[in-house]
Structure 1
Amino acid sequence: MPVHVVRLGGNNINQPAIIHSLTSILKKVEKNHILVVSASENIQRILVSGLELLCISSQTYSELLANLREEAALVAQLNQTPELPVFEQSLLPLERLLQGIQYTGDYSLALRDQVLSYAEIMTTALLHDLFNHAGLEAQLLLPQELGLIVTDEYGSASILKAQSVENIRPRRWERLSLIPGSYGITQAGKIARIGDRAADYTAAALASILDVAELELWEISKSFKTADDEVIADASYIENLTYAEASELAYFHHSSIHPRIVEPLIEQHIPIRVFELQNGEKILKTTINSSLGEQTQTIKSVAHSDDIAILKLNGPGVGFKPGILATVTTAFAKHQINIRSVITAQTSINIIIGKQDVVKAEKISRQLDLSSVSQIEFVSNISLIAIVGHGMQTNHGISAQLFSAVAKHEINVLLSGSGASDLVSYLIVEEQDKQKAVNEIHKIFFNS
């Protein structure tokens, strides 16, 4: 019987209407379904914060487990499910790990990944309990049981497809299999997380290994729209995207998918279809393909991110002095600070980083020997706004439209960039101008 691979958002365990639609759909389907489940944000937050508190003796492992049980009880109450035996069973090995961390007050990267993998495991166990109560049979299959092999880059592992194929492809699948996403097992037998929101990447790898016709995403937290609907209330769904466009929007957290989701699918050109679940039916909203196909609209979306800051290295000769940028980027890489973009001028080097890295980046920068740099400055309270879509370099009027939208409404542009790819043009504005800027740009490209 054909196998269908689906990625399901873990936050849906708190949505009884979605769970009802989900069980109705799965009871009717004829194909074997593999549901790769992401972590509930609430469960992951409790586990991450609890782990840190455990190490500084501000919380005991018993208190952390009690908080997790309390969250599970809320899920059970919402879904009118009286018992959670599978969830309780999932806590037993976690309890032993937490006891050890409380005793030592420390943990390795490998142990941290092992503990955090329980965010997905507990979410999947809860879903299993909800299905059992609704009369839907399923098997819970852990990635280590499945034989999903990953690199030993803890926190950001990659799936080793060639090593995983021989474990996964011959397997006889049950009617419904539930797999916790976002982690795998190294060749040394240790758990390594692929990253946050990485269940998509795991699902894509399984779709590739099993050579399915398509990968389906059911009820992602944020759908693909012409803008973030928290900023533009009447933003429309995007019917078609390319792999590259979808990855770019994921980078901006414009949609709740992992930017690496397309990597395993490229060679086989496996399409991605995004569905919403309503009244026991799944409704197609967006199709993501490897090729452009027929394009009726160059600009697909106006994306934005508030999670940025600018490091400005100022000085009269920084543009002429070789080695400054290399020194900074090498130091940042050593301390795992991701550089989003670099824009240079003769008197200033502007490095765009994540806002959460500002304190660490400033400390490192001031310790470096940066000749010709007379001032180190950080700019926060800013927003990155981008227009995303293939054809930026061939449709010459697009940039003019973009800048006329902000100039007409007296929005100050701090930095701008385009030309690095045919896919995106962006500008940086003060955070207080974000709403107005996104609104006016969206009007020009979608409301005219």
Structure 2
Amino acid sequence: MRVVKFGGSSLANGPQVQKVLNIILAEPKRRVIVTSAPGKRSDSDIKVTDLLIKYANCVLQKRDYQAALNQIWTRYQEIADFFDISQNSLQPLKQELIELPLTNYANYDFLMAAFKAHGEKINAQLLTLILQKQGVAARFLDPKTAGLLVSDVPNDAAVLPQTYQNLKKWRHTQELLIVPGFYGVTESGQIATFSRGGSDITGAILAQGLQAELYENFTDVNAIYASDPRIVTHPQPIQVMTYRELRELSYAGFSVFHDEALIPAIEGQIPIKVKNTNHPDLPGTMIVPEQHFHTQNVITGVASSNHFAALYLHRYLLNKEVGFTLKLLQIFYQFNISYEHMPSGIDDLTVIFDKRQFTKELRQQMCQKIQEVLNPDYLEWIDDYAILMIVGEGMRNKIGVMKLITSSLAKKNIGLHMINQGASRISIMLGTKQADAPIAVSEIYHQFFN
């Protein structure tokens, strides 16, 4: 049995949904389908999830929301019209949208979560109607009925362990199950969503809970590529890669999967295949456990991201002072800031952050506190910072990889702020200036994929 998730672009309009139907019916093993909310039909379009957020904000601000509601329903009506679904069948779906403002919620955050979740829920119900009209024994399976229980964090929920036991009873159902992605239900019955992009998480949870042989994730790309096509022209598609390779590359900008989506699949050791809804006959990319994996390539991919910043701190005899790092971490905790890496020397250290956590005021307050408590000789905030990740299972047993990387960058006069190799020996992290990052990615790619 396979669990299959379709992204928002795959379900954006009638013609795209027809492609989804063809894919579902082409393989009898595809028994559990996870839906996203309708995505963009064009670059200038608006995702249904964003329209639902607009709808929710109108309700919260006590403004007229009829225009937002009409805009949302029009998207579903267009898909329904494409398949000639009757108004009688659609009325319960529309009524559910209309009644969202009238429902009782624990607080405003749970209201927002419920509104957002209905993008996936209505789409799953509509897809079920379409399949039933075509004679398919399909069933809409709500997360509450399925037993998909999550924590009480309304817009960043985590799956609860008992969910996997609850899901087992659906393993041998004869019906085609259509499950909305992106959300679960708390133990008190409130809807709570995963962080945005969380339909991928739903698919992985179901794949583990149902012990699927494969989790197929259909999106709008042909494969995962060894580098960003916006940086490298026609990069090599990756045929097979490991879970941890994808996790490492996702850290530096690979955006095919939601960052947390692989965790349930990894725990369940479920292989994942990424494919293109528009070109389903292409092989795509298979993501597998590390055991018994063999590769012919030294590196699998190279990626970069600019959403980092660094704090450089110098103080003589820093390495002799007991508790120095503890005091620094306590300051981060005080300001609710997480750090990514902390390479250090005998008299200095650099702390690398995801700078999206900061406002200008928060950064200034934190640096001032560090100055007061630790009294460094020199403190500098470095905003011009990019991280590169060079990743590959083949690096573990290859001598001279670092030489090949640094020599290719030296030819382009690219300096490095930081070099760090992970304990697993399958990744090397580099810090550069932001302007140098795309050049560095291109040079490293061509060094190994010539």
Q: TM-score, normalised by structure 1?
A: 0.83
1:221/1:143 Cα in 2 relative to 1: closer, same or farther (>3 Å)? farther
CA distance in 2, matches of 1:66, 1:22: 26
Worse-superposed segment, 253-262 or 427-436: 253-262
CA distance in 1, matches of 2:223, 2:90: 29
User: RMSD between aligned alpha carbons?
Assistant: 3.5
1:436/1:171 Cα in 2 relative to 1: closer, same or farther (>3 Å)? closer
Q: Say if 2:50 is the partner of 1:45.
A: yes
CA contact (8 A) 1:306 1:431 kept: yes
Aligned residue pairs total: 438
Query: Shift in Å at residue 158 of structure 1?
Result: 2.7
1:298 corresponds to: 298
Query: Shift in Å at residue 227 of structure 1?
Result: 0.5
In structure 2, give the amino acid aligned to 1:407.
A
User: SS in structure 2 opposite 1:254?
Assistant: coil
- Tell me the alpha carbon deviations over residues 380-419 of structure 1, each in whole angstroms, 9 at most, x when there is no partner: 3432211111244542311111111111101232322224
1:62 corresponds to: 66
- Tell me the alpha carbon deviations over residues 196-253 of structure 1, each in whole angstroms, 9 at most, x when there is no partner: 2222232222222222222222225583111011222311111111121122223334
User: SS in structure 1 opposite 2:206?
Assistant: helix
CA distance in 2, matches of 1:188, 1:378: 45
1:176/1:108 Cα in 2 relative to 1: closer, same or farther (>3 Å)? same
CA contact (8 A) 1:32 1:174 kept: no
- Tell me the alpha carbon deviations over residues 26-78 of structure 1, each in whole angstroms, 9 at most, x when there is no partner: 23433452111234451223334564576556x543343244345556x649x
Worse-superposed segment, 390-399 or 170-179: 170-179
In structure 2, give the amino acid aligned to 1:287.
M
Runs (5+) with no aligned partner, structure 1: none
CA contact (8 A) 2:10 2:277 kept: no
Q: Say if 2:10 is the partner of 1:12.
A: yes
Q: Say if 2:143 is the partner of 1:139.
A: no
1:437 corresponds to: 440
2:382 corresponds to: 379
CA contact (8 A) 2:221 2:275 kept: no
User: SS in structure 2 opposite 1:149?
Assistant: coil
CA distance in 2, matches of 1:407, 1:386: 17
In structure 2, give the amino acid aligned to 1:365.
M
Equivalent residues in 2 for 1:296-445 (5 A)?
Answer: 296-316=296-316, 320-333=320-333, 337-359=337-359, 361-366=362-367, 368=369, 369-373=372-376, 376-445=379-448
- Tell me the alpha carbon deviations over residues 334-374 of structure 1, each in whole angstroms, 9 at most, x when there is no partner: 66544222222345432222232121651551463432235
CA contact (8 A) 1:84 1:126 kept: no
CA distance in 2, matches of 1:375, 1:130: 65
1:379/1:267 Cα in 2 relative to 1: closer, same or farther (>3 Å)? closer
CA distance in 2, matches of 1:51, 1:324: 47
Equivalent residues in 2 for 1:12-161 (5 A)?
Answer: 12-14=10-12, 18-31=16-29, 33-40=31-38, 42-48=47-53, 51=56, 55=60, 60-69=64-73, 71-72=75-76, 76=79, 80=82, 89-90=92-93, 92-98=95-101, 107-125=107-125, 127-128=127-128, 138-161=138-161
CA distance in 2, matches of 1:66, 1:160: 36
Percent sequence identity over aligned pairs: 23
1:438/1:89 Cα in 2 relative to 1: closer, same or farther (>3 Å)? farther
CA contact (8 A) 2:13 2:38 kept: no
1:14/1:178 Cα in 2 relative to 1: closer, same or farther (>3 Å)? same
1:404/1:32 Cα in 2 relative to 1: closer, same or farther (>3 Å)? closer
Equivalent residues in 2 for 1:124-273 (5 A)?
Answer: 124-125=124-125, 127-128=127-128, 138-170=138-170, 173=173, 175-219=175-219, 223-266=223-266, 268-273=268-273
1:387/1:32 Cα in 2 relative to 1: closer, same or farther (>3 Å)? closer
1:325/1:129 Cα in 2 relative to 1: closer, same or farther (>3 Å)? farther
CA distance in 2, matches of 1:332, 1:176: 49
CA distance in 2, matches of 1:53, 1:341: 41
CA distance in 1, matches of 2:415, 2:71: 46
In structure 2, give the amino acid aligned to 1:194.
F
CA contact (8 A) 2:60 2:108 kept: no
Worse-superposed segment, 432-441 or 412-421: 412-421
CA contact (8 A) 2:252 2:388 kept: no
In structure 2, give the amino acid aligned to 1:45.
D
CA distance in 2, matches of 1:276, 1:221: 5
CA contact (8 A) 1:61 1:99 kept: no
Worse-superposed segment, 125-134 or 365-374: 125-134
Q: TM-score, normalised by structure 2?
A: 0.83
CA contact (8 A) 1:148 1:159 kept: yes
CA contact (8 A) 2:305 2:388 kept: yes
1:66/1:17 Cα in 2 relative to 1: closer, same or farther (>3 Å)? closer
CA distance in 1, matches of 2:250, 2:268: 21
Runs (5+) with no aligned partner, structure 2: 40-46
In structure 1, give the amino acid aligned to 2:235.
A
Query: Shift in Å at residue 421 of structure 1?
Result: 3.1
Query: Shift in Å at residue 273 of structure 1?
Result: 2.1
CA contact (8 A) 2:221 2:276 kept: no
